[in-house]
Structure formats: C-alpha cells, structure tokens
Amino acid sequence: LVTSFQSFDLAYMLTGGGPRGGTEVLGMMMYRDAFKLGDFGYGTAIAFITLALVLGVTMIQWKVSGAQGEE
C-alpha cells in the first residue's frame, strides 16, 4: 500500500496510467479524480481511507513485533 504511493511519479511519467488504467496506482487515481476530474471530495475520501488502512496495519505490526520482542 505504501509502495503504491511511492511509485506514483514513476508510473505517471512512464505510462500515465497505461492502457485502460492497467498501471494506475492509488496515488494516480487520487490525483486524477481530484485534479483532472475536479472531484476533490472523492480524491480526499480515497486519501482518508488509505490513511486509515495504513494506520491500522501499522498498529497491528507494532503490536505483533512488540509481542515477539518480549519473548
């Protein structure tokens, strides 16, 4: 999930989303919806849902790695 944000510039410059969105990553979808289509609400919703998912996975990883470190 985090890697898809980090690969935004590479995918955008090389393919622009590719044929029929084949190489479109999440960051490109956010950019397209918010800035090209003018749907800022949808772009923001994608960003907040992604933030919640990343925070959730991070918290789970912290709990699991903390539990393994105490053994």
Q: For position 36, what pLDDT does the model report?
A: 85
Q: For position 2, what pLDDT does the model report?
A: 64
Q: For position 30, what pLDDT does the model report?
A: 86
Query: What percent of the chain lies above the pLDDT cut of 70?
Result: 75
Whether pTM > 0.85 for this model: the answer is no
- Judged against a pLDDT cut of 70, whether residue 61 lies above it is answered with yes
Give the domain range for residue 23. Answer: 2-69
User: What are the b/e assignments for 6-38, b being 16+ CB within 10 Å?
Assistant: eebeebbeeeebeeeeebbbbbbbbbbbbeeee
Q: Work out the mean pLDDT of the chain and round it to a whole number.
A: 80
Give the chain's domain count: 1
- Judged against a pLDDT cut of 90, whether residue 41 lies above it is answered with yes
- Judged against a pLDDT cut of 80, whether residue 52 lies above it is answered with yes
